[in-house]
Amino acid sequence: MHFRTHPAAAIAVLAVSVCAALTGSAQDRPGYTDTPKIPGQEWRVHDPDRPYPNLVKPGATFSDLAPPPSDALVLFDGTNLDRWDGGDWLIRDGYMEVTKGSISAEVPWEDFQIHIEWATPAIVKGDSQGRGNSGLFLPGRHEIQILDSYENPTYPDGQAGAMYGQWPPRVNASRPPGKWQTYDVIWEAPKWDDNGKLISPGYVTVLHNGVLLHHRQAYNGPTGHRSATDYSRVNRSRTISLQDHGNPTKFRNIWVRPLDAYDK
């Protein structure tokens, strides 16, 4: 016998199914239970039991294809990799695509605003951290995770926009696979005195597709995998990097501008 399902009931069943997929037990959620506690938090690095960020559907556009301001340094305009060193990446149709090796570029300022657009493969291959994985590494190896986090139940501090291994994004504002996404990031570099004593940690503010993920949040130290870090080593690097993690992630329209002081 065939029973017709009411549309509202079907939606409710779907919602429950999605919720169950995103809130499964540690046994069916990727992550690690043998890692150290994150300093100042109750959670372990890459903890599978950590709550998932709430889902937020971003607006259709925000800073997509935003032209660089007049005081910006353009790091990639779709034509060449002249400002980048390292890997051998493909350029076509106004974007670059990860092929072999990470790439890096020098930034002339300690503190800056950076705009970057990226897209993971439209055809999903792999799961968890194997879906469109890359990373924006701010100076001193502080990573903002790049990942296909659309309906991807990976560990929370490894989702798109995470301060990898330290803080998950406040929300998951990911667009579907293959869609272009934007990061607008404010970076304040860690500061040391002349004796190598830390004066202030690195701080980051991140908007993902126009949605705030982090608001002047402090890094505990450089990014580590399955490890907790600190600022025991002085690092005054001004190099940013884009990661090769074995996935053909795309990038376009990358520019950076200084954080100037207020007028006096």
pLDDT-derived band at 126 (thresholds 50, 70, 90) equals confident
For the stretch 222-244, pLDDT in tens is 999 999 999 999 999 999 999 99
Across 193-200, average pLDDT = 96
What percentage of residues in the chain have a pLDDT greater than 90?
82
pLDDT-derived band at 124 (thresholds 50, 70, 90) equals confident
The distance from CA 14 to its chain's CA centroid, rounded to whole angstroms, is 28
Residues ≥6 apart with Cβ < 8 Å to 224: 45, 165
For the stretch 5-26, pLDDT in tens is 444 444 343 343 344 344 444 4
pLDDT-derived band at 264 (thresholds 50, 70, 90) equals low
C-alpha span between 74 and 67 (Å, rounded): 10
Residues ≥6 apart with Cβ < 8 Å to 205: 185, 186, 212, 214, 215, 216, 217
What percentage of residues in the chain have a pLDDT greater than 70?
89
Three-class secondary structure of residue 150 per DSSP:
coil
- The tokens of 50 are what? 């950590």
Q: Is the pLDDT of residue 248 over 70?
A: yes
Q: Is the pLDDT of residue 211 over 70?
A: yes
Average per-residue pLDDT for the chain: 90
For the stretch 38-77, pLDDT in tens is 999 999 999 999 999 999 999 999 999 999 999 999 999 9
Across 109-121, average pLDDT = 97
C-alpha span between 107 and 259 (Å, rounded): 12
Of residues 29 and 193, which shows the higher confidence score? 193
Q: Nearest Cα to 181, choosing from 252, 246, 123?
A: 252
Q: Is the pLDDT of residue 129 over 70?
A: yes
Across 237-256, average pLDDT = 96
User: In angstroms, what CA-CA distances link 32 with 76, 134, 215?
Assistant: 36, 20, 27
- What is the CB-side half-sphere exposure of residue 189 using CA atoms within 13 A? 22
pTM over 0.85: yes
Give the DSSP per-residue string, 88-140: EEEEETTEEEEEEEEEEEE-S-SSEEEEEEEE--SS--S-GGGSS-EEEEETT
What domains appear along the chain, each with residue ranges and CATH number? 7-258 (2.60.120.560)
pLDDT at 104: 98
pLDDT at 64: 98
pLDDT at 122: 93
pLDDT at 11: 36
Three-class secondary structure of residue 10 per DSSP:
helix
